[in-house]
Structure 1
């Protein structure tokens, strides 16, 4: 007889793996286990956390929110070799494995964040010795045809708290338009709300109030915008 394990039991099995993989990969590779059922405190295990300065109880990332919102995990098991950035501005090479239950619904994320700074410095030194000039820029590593750190379709910000994450996504979205919130029309504000929804912001508890404050609107207005774009929140 096959015994079905709960999501919590399945994720518990991965906790020793975090310690193991982090030890095997070494101090330049951060390994993180997220329980996506609690986005505000999703980190349940982490090894080599000096890379991002996050801890157990830390929040989900902006990329993970987008993945959950779009359900892009449905037709793939992992996402590899994309660029990430810590809150201190450190560029990392990241990969994520989607942990799914028997219904193929994602319940957790096993993430790797490789600090490639020292590797780039070593490569530049060797290139300089061999070729007489450095071949790699400050952000260096090529990922999917781009240098690590250049704009790309897949990029992740590693924030230490859900509050910082929420604020970061909101401010980044507002920076994409030239009109300040106090001068925006209702349609322009609704467009901002639509973009924030696509980025998974409203999966976060308390996000409506945060968005309302930044858009110089009321909570009721944001809920009304969400209803108008056929979103159930």
Structure 2
């Protein structure tokens, strides 16, 4: 990320954190960092999610990394997220672009509305989210291991069949979801995925090839 961009967003983030108080976390992810497993380069009020400087990416960050250069990703504003401890947050994600128009970072705001939702009937206007936003809060994980665990669980929910009863096609579908979500950008994710689905490294590569072929075929249609 360009230094002048980082400096500006740090000052902006500090202002937002002071404006809304200790329940408002502001975090900057550097998508151009050499080590994507440690994408957080600045954070204020990290106690909201339990994260700190040097921690790893979120779901949105992985999606952006997987999309790659030139991706036309849109900012995500006023949607719900949830921490591992059960806090409900009102979040916004803004993509930072460099002079070439490529995404170089992410500026995210996570405002703790847990207590506000307890009295939501009287302050509905403050807690409301965009009509098009997902109704279920998205999880915010504290580290890479938790993120991969969460993605694995989501892949099983998508297929709708316990791992022990999955057919080959089920596992290909689950691994396709993991690939599309950027799970394989996580360091040493392969062995964990193999163990989780009870397959060999060779089989994983084979399933990945099938999943990518299916994606390419659908894109051509």
Aligned Cα RMSD in Å? 2.7
Matches within 5 A, 1:6-155: 7-13=1-7, 14-36=9-31, 37=33, 38-70=35-67, 74-75=71-72, 78-124=75-121, 127=122, 141-145=127-131, 150-151=135-136
Q: 1:44 to 1:11 in 2, by over 3 A?
A: farther
2:204 maps to 1:209: no
- Match in the other structure for 1:182: 164
Deviation of 1:71 (Å): 6.0
Match of 1:172 among 141, 154, 162: 154
TM-score, normalising length: structure 1 = 0.78
TM-score, normalising length: structure 2 = 0.82
Give the unaligned 5+ runs of structure 2.
214-221
- SS of alignment partner, residue 176 of structure 1: helix
- Rg larger in structure: 1
The answer (yes or no) to whether the contact 1:30–1:49 under 8 Å persists in 2 is yes
- Match in the other structure for 2:216: none
Tell me which protein shows more helix as a share of its residues.
2
How many residue pairs match? The answer is 209
Q: 1:188 to 1:149 in 2, by over 3 A?
A: closer
2:206 maps to 1:220: no
